[in-house]
Amino acid sequence: MLVIDQSAAGCLDAQGACFHGSLQLLRELAVTSDLDAALQPASNRLEAGVQERQDVHDRIDAELHTVGLQHFGEAIAQRMALIEVLAARFNNDSRMIRRICLEVLNRIASILEPELQSKLDANSRRDMSIAAYLHDIGKSGPFDASQAIQEAVVKLYAVENVAHPGQTIAETTRTNFSSEDAQSILTSLGSCGLGSNDTMRAFWDRHGYWTHDILETDSKDIPSRARVVAGSHHMDRGIDPYKFSSGDYVATLEHMILMAVDKYQAAVARGQKTHGEAMEVITGILSPKYGSDVIMNHVLKVVDEVGREEALLAAAA
């Protein structure tokens, strides 16, 4: 298992403890990326110059080190950079989710019994940090996808103009892209095992499995617990590529934190929900499977506490 030095561990602790964002910031991140995209020609939004791509790649390399990876494969950096270029809001979401996850983890650690508290060490914080940052890397497509296929997959994930989850991939592409681009995307998705009559829900659900495959391809550099937590963040929907079942308290806790925070952030940033509305949404989603789970209920309580404080900060701004 990868071990980081104490200075890196301290950095992760500090980043988690210094979560000073707000509900307003979550919304601004979502709106800003959309506004920036709207103000640019389509060709500029989707095609960055060589120098810009290199600059993005360099920033992603530095960020991967910051979140806790001492070493990582070129494919990991390349995919995160591709997402940054074509759909930056996904990475912005992951950055915010990481910060909230670390804050929730730190708060839970501070009130646990000593025996459990000792398990939440620098390595556990590192794993939470990595998992939250990389959990949506599967939105770049299958592990063996070519650059062109990865780009097609990211572009389709970035589409927000979808009437309902049952809308077909063909209808979505033809509504949102030129006929030439739509056909190219459909051809690319065909090589990923998705047909034009498959639903957008079926397409969206693939990213958890693709995250698993990508991380397992680079498994020597990414801690096992981080990979499992990242790939299992939609397990409530039955998307369970790791067949998650763990007696490891830390893995279970971090898995539930990421599930809850991922949904909370989506409700606030993309769904434009208030804190109270967001908590109702995620509780409604998670209750059927985790309503009686002690750990999940503890996680939701702390997410609620963090959100209430941030709501106060937003109201005072």
- Asked whether residue 224 is assigned to any structural domain, the reply reads yes
In this predicted structure, the answer to whether residue 2 has a pLDDT above a threshold of 80 is no
List pLDDT tens digits, range 5-18. Answer: 434 444 454 444 44
76 found inside a domain? yes
Q: Please report the pLDDT score of residue 173 as a whole number.
A: 97
The answer to the question of residue 1 being in a domain is no
198-249 tens-digit pLDDT: 999 999 999 999 999 999 998 999 999 999 999 999 999 999 999 887 778 9
Its domain, for residue 175, covers 6-316
User: Of the given ranges (207-221, 250-264, 275-289, 302-316), which has the lowest mean pLDDT?
Assistant: 302-316
pLDDT of residue 167: 98
pLDDT at residue 48 is higher than 90: no
What integer pLDDT is reported at residue 118 of this predicted model?
Answer: 86
Q: Where are the alpha helices (DSSP H) in 135-274?
A: 147-157, 169-176, 179-190, 200-217, 224-231, 249-265
Mean pLDDT, the chain, integer: 86
Which one of 3-7, 63-67, 119-123, 245-249 scores highest in mean pLDDT? 63-67
pLDDT band at 42 (very low <50, low <70, confident <90, very high): low
Q: Could you tell me if residue 93 is inside a domain?
A: yes
212 in any annotated domain: yes
Tell me the three state secondary structure of residue 168.
strand
- The alpha-helical segments, DSSP class H, found in the chain are 6-17, 23-38, 42-46, 50-67, 74-86, 88-111, 114-117, 122-134, 147-157, 169-176, 179-190, 200-217, 224-231, 249-265, 275-290, 294-316
Write down the pLDDT at residue 35. 45
Percent of the chain with pLDDT over 70: 82
3-class secondary structure, 85: helix
Number of folded domains that form the chain: 1
Average pLDDT over residues 269-277: 92
Asked, for residue 289, whether it belongs to a domain, the answer is: yes
Task: Give the count of beta carbons closer than 10 Å to the beta carbon of residue 178.
Answer: 11
Return the pLDDT at 145: 97
